[in-house]
Chain A
Amino acid sequence: MLDPYILQQLAIGLSLGMIYALMAIGFTLIFGVLNVVNFAHGEVYTIGAFAGLMAISAFGPPLLVVLFIALAAGALAGFGLERLAFRPFRRFSDEASLKSRAMREATLMSSLAMSIIAREAMEMIFGSQFQTVDLAYLINKPIHIGPITIVNGDLIILGVTLVMLGGLQWLLKKSPIGLSIRAVSNNALGAKYCGINTDRTIIITFVIGSAMGALAGILVGLYYGAIFPSMGFTPGIKAFVAMVMGGLSSVPGAVISAIILGLSESLSTSFMPSVWSDMVAYAFLLLTLIFFPQGLFGARRERV
């Protein structure tokens, strides 16, 4: 029988991992279609949290509606982000420039710029301190299961994430738009000559990835009751690590890595101070880059 404390940590770690997974998917999908890292992904997460918060303070809708508002805000943010920070650099349609180093570097700077602008704007509007969240919306009601205590947020996060992952899997494997996303990830030019509108596919990819990131933001905001403009930074880094561990453009790889990361962080608090738990992610990143430069699951996994 496992020690109850360990079980407790595993439950918390699973929630954490699921949140990282939701965020990592956005990174992974976008890396798949464009070979670039979207550095504004953390801010999309924050935008999701703030959109939910504003909905709550404006008209107090049911939790499910709050989650949908966050999703919609994320989708909108993803659309705008692609238009402002990525599309302007895609002037040539040949593959050499579509996935070139120059593109990577240019969009790295532009997405970073967008992230700074978004964060500063939120600080100007809302201030940099924690926002108060209506207590009725917090998802931290304790639930006792045998010797351990979890909160209803753990179940909600688990449920919502599983629904999103299932939906994404269906979308990618069964729907026409998923087929286009996979085709563009595999070979953008080939897809274009098959009559696929690559620009539109890229936008849709941003919309889907950002919606999921924003959902993660509102879930965490309500789980901890802490919503503030720079809240997206740390989870952004964790999700980035999960993406690298998973092999950059593999959705299943990123999800599994995110869960491993969440569980490890949570368990690490049993033998080291909790403020140090962020080190786990950095250690994983270093170890992955040194020993598994293709990701933990190898390079030949199916992309997206």
Chain B
Amino acid sequence: MTPILELDHLTRAFGGLKAVDDVTTQVNQGELFGLIGPNGAGKTTLFNLISGFTPPSSGEVRFKGEVITGLSAHKIAHKGMSRTFQNLRVFPNMTVFDNISVGALGMIGVGPMSSLFGGKARAKEISERSYEMLERVGLADHADDLAANLSYGKRKYLEIARALAMKPELLILDEPAAGMNDSETTELAQFITGLNKEGLTIMLVEHDMGLVMGICERLVVLASGRKIADDVPAVVRQDPGVLEAYLGGDEG
């Protein structure tokens, strides 16, 4: 299996606190990979190290074999890694269609001159791609609505569609099930599995075990910034260290 994303001894310290402590793992091509851990385990920090938001204190991140540590977020996005956010970052005062177009635009990438005199062909490419994604997540009827007027659940799908419009090779979803009820989570799980079946590599960062255990092929568990498990869900579920981290030593 070829790795698409490799984390090599990643550490990020804030003062004396190591939010991410020497994490080494990899995500393979075509995998549905889960990153879990209790609150404060360092998931978000690790995520930010991967997507170029914060530079690591030491260690490196490789994407498709290329070192991407220290690159700015938009350049990493251009390389084919796109993400969604736990607390949504849709563009509230733009239409649903325009929201997705931004993703398509970012994927195509524009120089300063060509952005002004873009040419019809590219505009057409952007709009076709955007409509395709709208259909994909079932938001075609809402194309002209302002994103702010969508329900919370629909905005989640909007953000996923925006990320997909960038034609990513690796899609990272940050707590996509947060704030969803059971039936919505099941629907989301099906959607994610569907994307993965089409060959998209997906990394799921979750606080909640349910979704991850159900659909991921492999899991990494973080606790206090350290990797405490890295295996298939069935094994991770039985891991005493994981149980302790999640349930606490005494009660567990």
Q: A residues bordering B, Cβ < 8 Å? A: 93-94, 171, 175-177, 179-180, 182-183, 186-187, 189-198, 200, 204, 300-303
Contacts and interface: CB of A to CB of B under 8 A. Distances in A.
Nearest to B81: A193
A176 B118 contact: yes
A202 to B, nearest CB: 13
Contacts of B163: 194
A195 B109 contact: yes
Interface in B76-101: 77-78, 82-83, 85, 89-94, 98, 101
B148 to A, nearest CB: 8
Contact of B162 (A175, A189, A194): A194
A186 B77 contact: no
B58 to A, nearest CB: 20
Q: Please provide the 4 A-B residue pairs with the shortest distance between their CB atoms, ordered closest to farther.
A: A195-B106, A190-B89, A186-B91, A195-B77
Given A183-B94, A186-B94, A93 B73 contact: yes
Interface of B is mostly: mixed
Contacts of B85: 190, 193
B112 A190 contact: no
Interface of A is mostly: helix
Contacts of A189: 89
A67 to B, nearest CB: 19
A297 to B, nearest CB: 13
Contacts of B126: 176
Contacts, number: 97
A193 B112 contact: no
Nearest to A187: B89
A193 B123 CA distance: 21
Given A171-B116, A193-B89, A194-B77, 20 more contacts: A175-B116, A176-B105, A176-B123, A176-B126, A180-B105, A182-B91, A186-B93, A187-B90, A187-B92, A190-B89, A193-B51, A193-B85, A194-B74, A194-B102, A195-B103, A195-B107, A196-B74, A197-B74, A198-B74, A302-B93
Contact of B93 (A94, A175, A200, A303): A303
Nearest to B148: A300
B72 interface: yes
A300 B147 CA distance: 12
Most chain A beta carbons < 10 A, residue from B82, B90, B102: B102
A177 B162 contact: no
Most chain B beta carbons < 10 A, residue from A93, A94, A197, A204: A197
B100 to A, nearest CB: 10
A180 B94 CA distance: 11
Contacts of B93: 182, 186, 300-303
11 contacts: A175-B115, A176-B105, A176-B115, A176-B123, A182-B93, A183-B102, A193-B83, A194-B103, A195-B82, A196-B105, A204-B112
B73 to A, nearest CB: 5
A181 B146 CA distance: 17
Nearest to A176: B115
A198 B102 CA distance: 12
Nearest to A95: B89
Contacts of A187: 89-92
